[in-house]
Structure 1
Amino acid sequence: MYRILFCMDIGMRDNQEDCMYIDGEILQVSNMECPRSKKVDRERLLVAVCDGMGGMSEGERASRFVCEMLKKCSIPFSPEGVYRALFRIQKKFESSGIIWSGTTIAGVFMEGDKSIVFNAGDSRIYKYTSDRLIYISHDHSYVQSLIDKGLISYEEAFYHPEKYIVEFGIGDVFSVDWKSGKKPYILEDILKEDEAYLICTDGLSDYIPDNEMYYLLYPDPFENFRNLLEAVEKVKTDNYSVVLIGLSNTKNKDSSDK
């Protein structure tokens, strides 16, 4: 029912602080032969990427911990179900022994063509359509707060020197935010056969503008996914993880199916 392409790379960093959860599989490697592909012939699908933060190996541990908790969760297919699962993971993190750390999370929970999109932090979900690439998640970051206040435009935020400041996520460093009532961003959506979700950490979205991502993927994101990977390889600095999800009965097939 679902087709997936994905890739992760350590970039120019010493540690891989990204972690990916793809339908029960947890991935956290320095690099992989990309793109990898997967097909899921089930009614439900859960995919997420996490970008850890913290000194030494704490960011690496934080992102993996959240992915491991996702694997253990039984999540009802509803916005409230997703929120409660993330809240429980936050509480588990606070007693995990991982300190002074946290992680972003961005993901899609699907049931057929219905989707629940969620994120905390600045990892992102985009929706590819034939006309454009739509940023459908919502960053919890300093520059996003400037956009929300009308002080800068979305386009200007890409070049802002403080775009790396993350203001929310999962982890003990965000405990006060959760206790004060701050919540992950959660959106219900529908995915059409000619559309796709692109989920990524900021190692991609901070280096390639949205309009460039769209043109690299156009007119078929599954056929042209390699174009996006080749582009980020030229500019990579940070760890990056990226996942492309579509319905498996789309008209075209990606090269890995041929």
Structure 2
Amino acid sequence: MPGDHHCAVSALTHVGLVRSSNEDMCAVPGWTSGPGRERWSGGLSADGGWALVADGMGGHAAGEVASALIVEALAPLMSGLEDRRDVTAALDEANARLHAATAADPVLAGMGTTIAGLVLRGEEALAFNIGDSRIYRWTPAGLAQISIDHALGGGVLTQCLGGTARPMPLDPFVGRCRWEPQGRFLLCSDGLTNMVPDTAIARLLASRSEGAADALVEAALDAGGVDNATVVVIDPPH
């Protein structure tokens, strides 16, 4: 597929209705979310374009620091990721930076973050995650979760970046998936998936050719908005 093809992308993060701060972060080439930068829409290169969603955790502002630091560390590496070895090396490097920041500032002790990432490679995509931020592929045949939740019941994570006294060995999910006819990709934090069932997510992705990101976040808010909610919707190359 020629490199000048682009995918339409919409990204949106929302603090929700309960939390006082937004510990989620999302990013695409040239843009990272933050206060006053809650939404982005535009085109991504179908060959080398990428998106990230991170859901930070930790007391005070530590969760925001963790998600921002990991996104900042991974962003320059994303377009070069080709396989599991690349992804694992990039995550290990980012995790080491997170632990170094924690060691330098005791206030940040215990901070951690999930990560979900997608790199577009022409007719397919490289997907990876640590934690319970998810990646889905929607087609007219239905919604399929591509990522794997590293979590127990009650939202207890079995893997995250940071979150421990010493760096733990990471075992990320890494997979390749092809574009399907009329398919879309969705990256999101658990502020969406804990509030909105997959059936409703599928219905919104099916019915909204435009405005799907807004509709998904609105559904999370309508359901109570107890957590930060972040979504990135990626449409096929054209």
Q: Which bin holds the TM-score, normalised by the shorter protein?
A: 0.7 to 0.9
Contact persistence 1:113–1:247 (CA under 8 A): no
Distance 1:195 1:85 in 2: 28
Counterpart of 1:40 in structure 2 is 44
Q: Equivalent residue for 1:171?
A: 162
- The answer to whether the Cα contact below 8 Å between 2:184 and 2:233 also exists between their aligned partners in 1 is yes
Matches within 5 A, 1:17-166: 17-29=23-35, 32=38, 36-41=40-45, 43-73=47-77, 75-96=80-101, 97=104, 98-143=108-153, 162=154, 164-166=155-157
Q: Say which structure is richer in strand.
A: 2
Which residue identity lines up with residue 28 of structure 2 in the other structure?
I
* Cα deviations by residue, 1:161-202 (Å, 9 ceiling, x for unpaired): x2x212211115274531xxx411111111134111100000
In structure 1, distance between residues paired with 2:83 and 2:211: 32
Q: 1:92 to 1:40 in 2, by over 3 A?
A: same
Identity of matched residues, %: 27
SS at match of 2:168: helix
Tell me whether 1:213 sits opposite 2:162 in the alignment: no
Aligned: 1:14 with 2:20: yes
Tell me the secondary structure at the aligned position of residue 65 of structure 1: helix
Give the total of aligned pairs: 225
RMSD: 2.0
Contact 1:141/1:165 (8 A) holds in 2 = yes
TM-score, length-scaled by structure 2: 0.87
Alpha-carbon distance in structure 1 between the residues aligned to 2:65 and 2:167: 21
After superposition, give the CA deviation of every residue in 1:93-139 in whole Å (9 maximum; x if it has no partner): 12123421100001111111221110100100011110111011001
**Contact residue 8 and residue 241 of structure 1 kept, 8 A:** yes
Instruction: Give unmatched runs, 5+ long, in structure 1.
Output: 144-161, 250-258
| Aligned equivalents of 2:30, 2:213: Cα separation in 1 | 23
TM-score normalised over the length of structure 1: 0.80
Gaps of 5+ in 2: 1-5
What amino acid maps onto 1:85 in structure 2?
A
